Chains A and B, each alone.
Chain A
Amino acid sequence: MTTARTIAFNLNGAHVTAIVQPHHTLIEVLQAQFGLTGARESCGQGLCGCCTVIINDHPVSGCLYLAAFVDGGKVTTIEGLETPNELSPVQQAFIEASAFQCGYCTPGFVMMVTKLLDEHSDPDDETITHYLSGNLCRCAAYPEVLEAVKLAARKRRTVGGKSLG
């Protein structure tokens, strides 16, 4: 179709390269070339939040973001949150609060909540719903997500937690 080019970027702390076409989205490249399937395409319009990843400290919809643009940048996905032995406080809180049902949108929520807590260590309901207004859950586990955010905030304040920064 068109010319492929090689890009280099930091993916979850590791330096990687990928060969991408101009039309490839970041989600396609993460799935096809790195086997990372936690960020998923659903609506394909940047409205549901299932594909949320963090690029250079900003949460973006990976289904719309062209892979070529991450050249030289830093990408964090859901797979970059946990350490070998431990879930992140946000992940742990989502389990304890049962803040998911089918789980398809969950990585997007976890990424956005992590970003939220990096910026607001003790967010009120309004701040939480503002940050999460771009994350939809068709199973509607919204009350449980709200509970998980508060639980995660408490966990991070007491035991600390990995930030995305």
Chain B
Amino acid sequence: MAAIIDPSIKVGSQIGRSVLRVEGRDKVTGRAEYTHTMRLPGMLHAKLFRSTVPHGKIKSVDTRAAEKLPGVLHVVTIDHVKRVIPNPYYGPAFHDQPILADEKVRFVGEPVAAVLARDPHVADQAVQLITAEYEELPAVYDEIDALTAQTFVHEELRPAGTFTDLKHLQGMRKTNVALDYRLRRGNFERAYAAAEYKFEHEFKTQKVVHLSFEPFATIADYRPDGVTIHTASQGPSFVRMEIARLLGWPENKVRVKVPYVGSGYGSKLYIKLEALAVALSMIARRPVKVAATMEEMFYQVTKHPCTFRIKSGVDKNGKILARKCEVFWNGGAYADIGPRVTQKAGLTASGPYDIDDVDIDSYALYTNVTPSGSLRGFGVPQLVWAYESHMDMMARALNWDPAEFRRKNILREGSPHATGQTLADAPLDKVLNTVLDRIGWNQPFDRGSGSTRRGRGFGIAIKAVTSPTTSVAIINISADGSPTLYCGTVDMGQGSDTALAQLVGEALNVPTESVRIVQRDTDVVPYDMGTLGSRSLFHMGHAIQRAAADVRSKIAALRQEVGEPEGSNLPISALFQKRYGMQAGNIIGSGVFKPDYISPSRENGQSPNITPFWLISGAGAEVEVDTETGHVRVTKLINVVDAGKAVNPKIVETQISGGAVMQLGFTLFEKIHIDGGQITNASLADYKIPGFHDLPNAMENLYVEHEETNGPFGAKGVGESSMFCVSPAIANALDDAVGVRLTELPLTPEAVFRAIRTKAGKPLESE
């Protein structure tokens, strides 16, 4: 299809079209290339020897037998790494993670040594020949224990300097707290003391893992004059900057290429295997591939386990007067992006409610387990699980209808959020009403009988999109008029290439199908902060709009230059012909977007402009509980999100559905089991994820449209929204069905059965 940026031709709106995925053919034919299956000529494979103790000083690492195995080219420890990278510590928030364990190990599974060989089987076999001796240190696993423990995961805190709210932690010793965020609004203590009814609950979430089906993989090809990194990453710009910093090089000597990514869900952000792969390639002077197995994914990054203590004071009319939230995030052995989760999620911990007096304390804690990072929601699902369970418990105790109790307290447009920012374009009422309508809240309901009991529940949620972040886009118009988009947003499956092509189409009056998006390659694409936190459509969308405006003004200038009158309909290819005498030339437009933002005050967390947009969602669940086994079947799941203006309705729907099913696994069965610091179920055989048979009997994936006033074409992100409410909706439905309340995820048959027996006065023996 020829692309003609021609004002006389109306191609029709590209927004609101369910354009088929631009990369569909590559994916259904198996031609899509992923880092995990890539090979470079002369490439070596690296396999890792990992720590078997959760916390200890390394006394010795014996690599002699491994070195002697035929086919082994290098066995690498931190001593070798330091010869090529003298200060081998990396991380987005803290420079706390060594490329290989340095004097100490801090979690079971931490890489201690690497073996390089041409044959990955040889490398694997050599790893088995390495031994290490440790002097074990006391370890801390639980986030609450970490607050008061006398064992410290790190001797000294080393903030990266990127984030202003971490600077005060520089050089701190004898602490496991990697960030303490606080919000103070009004006077909680006074308002709580005066409240008629007081409620206090504690909720816990378990450690779960992203488990992208393309495991982590990076290939580094180091040359003295530059390094090329092929990597499964959600953020090539950050990888480039961090590798440049480690090498003491300018950014332009580091090239990061991202082919198709077999999903990320937040796991492939910031820096993962890239620094190790670069160090190994520097040592071997050859391309080196580090590719994880699925088992090894349990030792890279997980979601944050969390303890949330919440207190609310309610007056006699059902109005919540005061709320205190204490949130403790289990960050694992290295901070990764945990301090951002702590602050960015923390600031919405009091939920989508209009409460005058609020205290929030949110703590990032180091522990001796696999590091925690971002997982589709940046901490918000952990919070919503707690505050929407808490809301339901209060409504039941006060004999309020849970829907009316929400309506009484919900935040409305124009009201101040707990941070002080005025709520706008956050259609909470509309989302809540849609959930209630589709779940038939006011309709008669069959509550079951005998050993089969049925119940209903729901929840609503708010998230502030991570801010401030920057996106840059370039649009290149070739001499025949065809447009190409250069941007750093990574399509890891969420459909961003298709949606961003639609925005280019809309902004330039060309069909989406005619827009080409170049492969992510930092030698070519401009800066983008990262594909995370549902930010891309909004931020990159704005950058695209600005780049398109730049293109249009340059076309107008060209039109004038070649002597065409104002309003001329000459196609762009003809303008190029006139200008260059042949099919030649380019028009290149660029656009940068960074939203306005005011940092929250360190004293009280207040800011009049904490986020450029809010994500709003709700979910309703119908469950069937077998009281003889504790088994919970979700018979209906209603997922509703605010989509702003849906750019591609089909993609919005698949994002809602995919997120909700993922959260269904986190709600009902997924859990990393840890015993004395050892993960005991690090495989797909022992860690179950949702399959066809786990889907709810009926599922509706809906969005409400409420144009985001400051969004590109009214759009906003939806990649995470459907994760938020699934857990509390199911827990609330479970309470509705059998009158038991679980406050810890997952809601396994055993946990449910124990609660049913306890309620009946016949508790089972403890585990």
- Within 8 Å by CB of A40, from B23, B36, B684, B692, lies B36
Q: Can you list, as one digit per residue, whether each of A54-85 has a CB less than 8 Å from chain B (1) or not (0)? A: 00000000000000000000000111011000
Interface of A is mostly: loop
Contact between B699 and A103, CB atoms less than 8 A apart? no
In the complex, which residues of chain A have a beta carbon less than 8 angstroms from the beta carbon of B260? 102-103
Least Cβ–Cβ distance between B246 and chain A, in angstroms: 29
- Which residues of chain B from 488 to 517 have a CB within 8 Å of any chain A CB? 492-495
- Cross-chain contact of A82 among B23, B29, B34, B654 (Cβ < 8 A): B29
B-binding segment of A89-97, A116-124, A155-163: A89-97
Chain A residues whose C-beta falls within 8 Å of the C-beta of B21 in the assembled complex: 95, 98, 100
Nearest-neighbor residue (CB-CB) of B491 within chain A: A102
Nearest to A94 among chain B residues (CB) is B28
Q: Are A141's CB and B689's CB within 8 A? A: no
A140 to B30 alpha-carbon distance, docked (Å):
19
Q: Mark A96-108, 1 if CB is under 8 A from B, else 0.
A: 1010111111110
The segment from B53-61, B208-216, B521-529, B569-577 that touches chain A is B208-216
Report the Cα distance A38→B262, complex, angstroms: 12
Interface residue A87 (Cβ < 8 Å from any Cβ of B): yes
| Cβ A133 vs Cβ B213 within 8 A | no
**Contact, CB under 8 Å: B37 / A37:** yes
Chain B residues near A36 (CB-CB < 8 A) = 30
- Whether B658 and A140, one on each chain, are in contact in the complex, defined by CB atoms closer than 8 angstroms, is yes
A77 CA to B30 CA in the complex, in Å?
Answer: 9
Instruction: Check A79 against B493 for contact (C-beta < 8 Å).
Output: no
Closest chain-A Cβ to B684's Cβ sits at a distance in Å of: 4
Whether the Cβ atoms of A87 and B25 lie closer than 8 Å is yes
> Who on chain A is nearest to B18 by CB?
A98
* Cβ–Cβ contact A100 & B27, under 8 A: yes
Question: Once bound together, how far apart are the Cα atoms of A44 and B23, in whole Å?
Answer: 26
Contact: B20 with A98, CB < 8 Å? Answer: yes
Chain B interface, >50% SS class:
loop
Complex Cα–Cα for A143 and B692 (A): 9
B224 within 8 A of A: no
Whole-angstrom distance from the CB of A77 to the nearest CB of chain B?
Answer: 7
Find the B residue at minimum CB distance from A140. Answer: B661
Contact A143-B20, Cβ < 8 Å, known A40-B214, A42-B214, A104-B213: no
Q: Is the Cβ of A102 less than 8 Å from the Cβ of B691?
A: no
Residues of chain A with a CB closer than 8 A to B692's CB: 128-129, 132-133, 142
A95 is contacted by which of B25, B121, B685, B691 (Cβ under 8 Å)? B25
B662 CB–A CB distance under 8 Å: yes
> Would you list which residues of chain A between 123 and 147 have a CB under 8 Å from chain B?
128-129, 132-133, 135-144
A19: interface (CB < 8 Å): no
Q: For the complex, is A14 an interface residue (Cβ under 8 Å from B)? A: no
List A contacts of B20 (CB < 8 A): 95-96, 98
Establish whether residues B657 and A140, one from each chain, have CB atoms under 8 Å apart when the complex forms.
yes
| Min CB–CB distance B126 → chain A (angstroms) | 12
In the complex, whether A45 has a CB less than 8 A from a CB of chain B is: yes
Residues of A within 8 A of B683 (CB): 43, 45
Asked whether A91 and B34 contact (CB < 8 A) given A47-B684, A105-B213, A142-B692, the answer is: no
Partner of B293, one of A44, A101, A107, A142: A44
Q: Is the CB of B693 within 8 A of A79?
A: no
The listed residue with most B CB atoms (<10 A of its CB), out of A32, A77, A94, A143, is A143
Which chain A residues lie closer than 8 Å to B37 at the CB level? 31, 37, 40
With a cutoff of 8 Å between Cβ atoms, the chain A residues found around residue B695 in the complex are: 142-143
Question: CB distance B213 to A50 under 8 Å?
Answer: yes
**Contact residues in A for B29 (Cβ distance below 8 Å):** 38, 78-79, 81-82, 87, 91, 107
Within 8 A of A (CB), among B26-62: 26-34, 36-37, 39
Question: Which 9 A-B residue pairs are closest in the complex by CB-CB distance?
Answer: A38-B30, A102-B493, A103-B27, A104-B262, A101-B493, A140-B661, A78-B30, A102-B263, A43-B684
11 A–B pairs (Cβ distance < 8 Å), ordered by A = A40-B262, A78-B29, A98-B24, A98-B651, A100-B24, A100-B27, A110-B28, A110-B30, A133-B692, A140-B660, A143-B695
